[in-house]
Structure 1
Amino acid sequence: MVAIQIRDVPDDVRDALVAQAEARGQSLQRYLLGIVSAQARRSRNTELLARFATRADGVRSGPGETAAELAAERGE
């Protein structure tokens, strides 16, 4: 594992992060590791979706279209 250090964090930002960590029953380190890990996962998802965006297989659905199509098929 590596260590990451962030310098020049304003006191109010640190205090807000500490409060959020305490509200979850976590240490500041554990809380921040969770945030950093989640961001890394999201970036991988974005890369994967970008790869699929260039596909030309004729299948494209907009937001909510699939749910509307299912409802129509079910007669709802």
Structure 2
Amino acid sequence: MSSVITVRGVPDDVKAALVEQARERGQSLQALVLHTLQQQAAFSRNRQIIAEIEEELGKGGGAGPDAPRSWEVLEQERARRT
């Protein structure tokens, strides 16, 4: 399901800049703003994950000697996505 969001009070120069960016990308203003909101939501999740990692490390947690190497995990994840 999708929702409608209305933003009031957007300064003219901000709107003009967004319209220009959308035009340069061959997008509508709505598509550009939706993409920006989706990116922000994804970044929000990343910040939450980082906070959880920092909390765990602060408690003395961390990877043990049998933990996989980070490049192996990234390689597996990239392969899974393709």
1:1-40 mapped onto 2 (5 Å cutoff): 1-40=2-41
Structure 1: how far apart are the matches of 2:3 and 2:42? Answer: 18
CA RMSD, 1 decimal: 1.5
Deviation at 1:58, TM superposition (A): 4.6
Aligned position for 2:49: 48
Deviation at 1:57, TM superposition (A): 2.5
Where does the alignment leave 5 or more consecutive residues of structure 1 unmatched?
60-76
How many residue pairs match? The answer is: 60
Deviation at 1:54, TM superposition (A): 1.5
**Which of the pair has more CA radius of gyration?**
1
Compute the TM-score of the two structures, normalised by the length of structure 2: 0.67
Structure 1: how far apart are the matches of 2:55 and 2:13? Answer: 43
Q: SS at 2:42's partner residue? A: helix
Structure 2: how far apart are the matches of 1:54 and 1:9? Answer: 38
